[in-house]
Structure 1
Amino acid sequence: MNVHLIRSVELDKGTFNNVLNLLQQFPGPFKFLANQEDLLDYSKEETIKKWEDKKGFETQVQYNAVFEPQPKFSYIEFPFFEKTKTWEQLFSECRQYRKTQKVSENDIVVLLTDIGNDKNWFGGVAPSMKDYFVQTSNWQHFFGHSIDVRFPIAYEVIIWIMRFYMFSDREDIMNGIHKKPIGCIMDFCQDKSQIILKMRTADVCESCMEKFIERDIPTLHSRQFFAILDGIRNSMTFRGRATLLQQPSRMEIRGVMKKIFFKDLGGLELPLNPKEKAVYLFFLRHVEGISISHLSDYKEELSQLYRQFSNQSDSNAIARSVEVLVNPLENNINEVISRINRKISAAVGDSLYDFYCITGARGNDKKIKLDRELIVYL
C-alpha cells in the first residue's frame, strides 16, 4: 500500500524530509511517498485558540477564541495562543491533494501540519479511514528540547496506519483504544502528557495483539509496523543514553553526493550545502586537524570536494569561492564552520555535539573528535 505524506505550508521542509527518510528506512508492503514540489495551502481560515493554563492545554477542555498574534516560546508559557483548524478543514486538504494528484482511492494520505486542531488531538482520521492528519508542533512541551521531533511525528503516522487495519471505523477506534493508559501503543492519552509513557514502551498489550489476529492483518504488514516502532524507540533510547555512555552514533556517508547520515539516530541526515559539505568532509579526512592559517596549502583538495557537490557549472566561480574560503584575511572559513556546527547541534543535540563538531581554540588546529572507525562510506 502507498502512504502519501503531505505537508502544509507552515511545516519546515527539513523536518518533513527527516520524517519521510525515517519511515522509508524500514522495508515492507507500505511505501512512504511524498511529492516534494507541492505545499498545501488550501484552507487559509484559521482560528486562534487561547490556552489559559497547562492543564487545559494537555486535556480536552473549552477554550476562549481570541484573535491575537501567537508568541514564540522555547517551552510553552501560558496563556498560550495557538493557530488551529477544524478537523474538516484538515481532511479537506487531504481530499484536495487526492484530487489534484490523482491519488488512488486505495492509498492512504497523511497530512503533517504545525497547525493545531479544534479537538486538541495529536492526530485524527477522516470517516473514510483513508485520510489522516498528524500535528507536528509542540512536542518539546512534552519531551523537552532533547527530543528529535521526527520520532513522535513518525510514531503518530505509523500508529494511525495500524488503526486503519485494526478497526473498521472511527467509532470502532474509540471503542477499542484504552481510555486509561497501560503503556500500550493504543492508549488514548486524553491527558496528552501520557504520550511519553506510550512512546517509550512502544508495546502492544494482549488484547490489542488479539485484535491483530482477529482482523487477520498480514504478517508482512505487522512486521513492518513493529520494525518502525522498535526503530523509533531504539533511536530515542540511544540519544537519551549518549551522554552517560559517551557513545556517538555511527556515521554513514552515502553515494556520489556524499550525503551524511547518523545511523543510530534513525538515519538522521545532516543537511549541509555544497560548501559546508566540502569543508566538513575535508576535516573528516584530516584526523590530526588543520590550522586555519595553513588552509591555503590545501586549496586544490578543497576545490575538488567543492566541485563534486556544487551545482555551479562555472569553474571560475568555484575557484573564486574557494579563494575566499582559504584566504587568511577573510573570515569565510570561520563563518562556514559556525554554520556547520549549528546544524550539527540542531541535528544531534547537546549530548552528542562534541563528537561531530569542528572544534579547536583560536590559533590551534581545527579537528573533528569522532573516531573514524565509526564512519562507513556507502
Structure 2
Amino acid sequence: MTEYNVHILRPESLSEGIVEDAFSIIEHSKGYNEGPVKFYLHPWDYEPHAGKLEEEDVEEEEPRRTIDTQSEIMYSIDVDYSARDLIRKFREAEVTPALPIGKRKIPVNELLESCKVIARDFRKQNGITETNNLVIVTTTQGNTNNFFAEGADIITPTALVQINHTVMQEGNPHLLLTYYMAAMPLKALGFNDPDYINKYAHKNTKGCMNDLGAEDVYHLRIKTKTADICETCKKILSDNKVPYPIISQLRGIFGLVRKIQINIEDFEQDWTQPRVEIGAKRLGFPDNGLVLRLSPKEMSVYVLFMKADEGIHHNDMGTHQRKLMRLYGLCYNGGDPDSIRTTVGSLCDISNTDNLRQTIAKCNAKIKKVLGEEMCKPFLIGGNWGELKSIKCDRTLVEFSNSWGF
C-alpha cells in the first residue's frame, strides 16, 4: 500500500533531548521499519532562540480558553497536586529535564501561520508534496491561547506541538510527545475538519485520542495510560477509509506508550525491573522508553563492570586491561591504537585512580538523571571505594547488541 510519511521537525539550535527521547520510543515500536507509516526526525533551522531556553528559569503559566479551530486542543489549568500526584512524581522521570515553559507572546493563529511557513519551507527545500506527507513542527513558542497541540493546515497536512508547554512539566513528557507523534497522523487522515471541536472532540474524558482533556492536566496522563480510540472514533476512521494497516501501526505506538507507562508504575511498586539494552554508544530501557548516550570511555567501563557479575576492585583493574582495551576499541571507532592504549592505561593505573573514579561517577550521574533516584539503583556501578564495585541488576534482563560480539 502507499506509504504515509510523518516528518517531525525540531529547532536546530536546541540540544538533543525531549524530542529525541520521544522519537526513540517510535523507533522501538512494531512496524517502524516495515509498516506503511514512516517517521523521520529532522533538526531544522528555525526558532534560533530555542538553544538558550535550557539556561532559563521555569515560569508558571495561567489557565487558557478555547477558540474554534480544527484540530487538537489541550486545556491546562492550575491544580493543587494531591499526595497521590506527589507519589506519582517518581513515575514521571524523563530522559531530559523539562524545558522552561514558553512565554505566551502571540495569539495561536499567528503561531499557526508561523509553523505553516516553517513547514512550507521544509517541504520546498526537500521536494516533499502535500499528498501522504504530514509535517509536525515542534515549537518552543508559547501562545496567548495556551494551545498544546494543534493542526495548522488542513490542505497541506501540518501540525504543531509545543514542547515546553505547561503540560510537559508534569507526567512523563516524552511519553506524551510520543503519543502525539502517533495521534497527529490519525487526526490528519481521519478527523481533518475545520469544525473538529464540534464534530469529533470529546468534552468528557473517555481515554480516547480525541479527548480534549479539559478538566485538568492529569487527564493527559489518563490518555497515555489508556492509549486507545473509542468505538465512535473507530467508526469515523473506518467511514473515512483510513487504511487499516496505518491504523494498526499507529495504535501499536499507542499501545507501547501505555505499556511503558504501566511498567513505570509497576516499578514504583517494586513489581518489576526494566530491561536494559546495551549498544556500542547508548543504553536503552525499552520498557520505559528511555535512552541515554555514554561516551566511548564511559560505555567501555560500564560494560566491563556489567560483565563482571561479582564486581571489580580498583586494585585489580590491571588484570582487566586487555579486556577493557578491546571494549574501548569497539566503542571508539576510528581511534588510533596509541590513543586507546593511553586512555585504558590511565583507567587501570592504581597509583592514580582519578580517571576511573570520574568515569564511574559520570556513568552513574547520567543513569540517575534518566531513571530517577529509585529506578536507577540496580543499574549503578555501586560499592564503596576500596571494596568490590559492581552493578546489581538482574542479568537475565540485560541484552547486548551484536556489535559487542558476546
| Structure 1 segments unaligned to the other structure (5+ residues) | 62-73
Task: Quote how far apart the aligned CAs of 1:327 are.
Answer: 1.9
Is residue 158 of structure 2 the alignment partner of residue 131 of structure 1?
A: yes
Question: Which residue, out of 172, 188, 210, partners 1:186?
Answer: 210
Is residue 5 of structure 2 the alignment partner of residue 2 of structure 1?
A: yes
Task: Quote how far apart the aligned CAs of 1:43 are.
Answer: 7.3
Give the Cα–Cα distance (whole angstroms) in 1 for the partners of residues 342 and 152 of structure 2: 55
Cross-structure match for 2:239? 214
Amino acid at match of 2:117: S
| Structure 2 segments unaligned to the other structure (5+ residues) | 51-57, 66-73, 78-96, 402-406
- Cα deviation code 1:118-146 (max 9, x no counterpart): 43122111223511111222445332xxx
Give the Cα–Cα distance (whole angstroms) in 2 for the partners of residues 141 and 60 of structure 1: 11
Cα distance change, pair 162–129 in 1 and its aligned pair in 2 (3 A): farther
Q: Do the aligned partners of 1:358 and 1:366 also contact (CA within 8 Å) in 2?
A: yes
Question: Which residue, out of 331, 345, 351, partners 2:354?
Answer: 331
Cα distance change, pair 330–362 in 1 and its aligned pair in 2 (3 A): closer
Task: Quote how far apart the aligned CAs of 1:162 are.
Answer: 1.1
Q: Do the aligned partners of 1:42 and 1:93 also contact (CA within 8 Å) in 2?
A: no
Cross-structure match for 1:40? 45
Task: Quote how far apart the aligned CAs of 1:12 are.
Answer: 3.2
Is residue 315 of structure 2 the alignment partner of residue 293 of structure 1?
A: yes
Q: Do the aligned partners of 1:5 and 1:20 also contact (CA within 8 Å) in 2?
A: no
Give the Cα–Cα distance (whole angstroms) in 1 for the partners of residues 333 and 115 of structure 2: 37
Cα distance change, pair 139–288 in 1 and its aligned pair in 2 (3 A): farther
Cross-structure match for 1:156? 180
Task: Quote how far apart the aligned CAs of 1:324 are.
Answer: 1.8
Cross-structure match for 1:26? 30
Give the Cα–Cα distance (whole angstroms) in 2 for the partners of residues 356 and 183 of structure 1: 34
Give the Cα–Cα distance (whole angstroms) in 2 for the partners of residues 276 and 44 of structure 1: 32
Q: How does 1:98-247 map to 2 (within 5 A)?
A: 98-106=123-131, 107-127=133-153, 128=155, 130-137=157-164, 138-143=166-171, 147=172, 149-172=173-196, 174-191=198-215, 193=217, 194-247=219-272
Give the Cα–Cα distance (whole angstroms) in 2 for the partners of residues 320 and 187 of structure 1: 58
- What SS class does the counterpart of residue 367 from structure 1 fall into? coil
Cα distance change, pair 10–136 in 1 and its aligned pair in 2 (3 A): farther
Amino acid at match of 2:301: V
Q: Do the aligned partners of 1:43 and 1:93 also contact (CA within 8 Å) in 2?
A: no
Instruction: Report % sequence identity.
Output: 25
Cα distance change, pair 84–274 in 1 and its aligned pair in 2 (3 A): farther
- Cα deviation code 1:304-363 (max 9, x no counterpart): 111111134321122111122222314111111111112112222233201111111121
- Cα deviation code 1:5-37 (max 9, x no counterpart): 1111354314333322211323121011134xx
Cross-structure match for 2:331? 309
Give the Cα–Cα distance (whole angstroms) in 2 for the partners of residues 246 and 363 of structure 1: 33
Cα distance change, pair 214–81 in 1 and its aligned pair in 2 (3 A): closer
Q: Do the aligned partners of 1:135 and 1:153 also contact (CA within 8 Å) in 2?
A: no
Cα distance change, pair 276–60 in 1 and its aligned pair in 2 (3 A): closer
Task: Quote how far apart the aligned CAs of 1:201 are.
Answer: 1.9
What is the TM-score normalised by the length of structure 1? Answer: 0.84
Give the Cα–Cα distance (whole angstroms) in 2 for the partners of residues 135 and 124 of structure 1: 9
Task: Quote how far apart the aligned CAs of 1:169 are.
Answer: 2.4
Question: Which residue, out of 351, 354, 361, partners 2:384?
Answer: 361
Q: Do the aligned partners of 2:224 and 2:261 also contact (CA within 8 Å) in 1?
A: no
Cα distance change, pair 202–301 in 1 and its aligned pair in 2 (3 A): same
Indicate the structure whose relative CO is greater, using CA pairs within 8 Å and at least 6 residues apart.
2
Question: Which residue, out of 369, 376, 382, partners 1:346?
Answer: 369
Give the Cα–Cα distance (whole angstroms) in 2 for the partners of residues 313 and 76 of structure 1: 35
Question: Which residue, out of 270, 283, 304, partners 2:292?
Answer: 270
Q: Do the aligned partners of 1:19 and 1:153 also contact (CA within 8 Å) in 2?
A: yes
- What SS class does the counterpart of residue 91 from structure 1 fall into? helix
Amino acid at match of 1:369: K
Task: Quote how far apart the aligned CAs of 1:292 are.
Answer: 1.5
**158-167 or 112-121: which moved more?**
112-121
Task: Quote how far apart the aligned CAs of 1:90 are.
Answer: 2.2
- What SS class does the counterpart of residue 44 from structure 2 fall into? coil
Amino acid at match of 1:196: R
**199-208 or 270-279: which moved more?**
199-208
Cross-structure match for 1:66? none
- What SS class does the counterpart of residue 158 from structure 1 fall into? helix
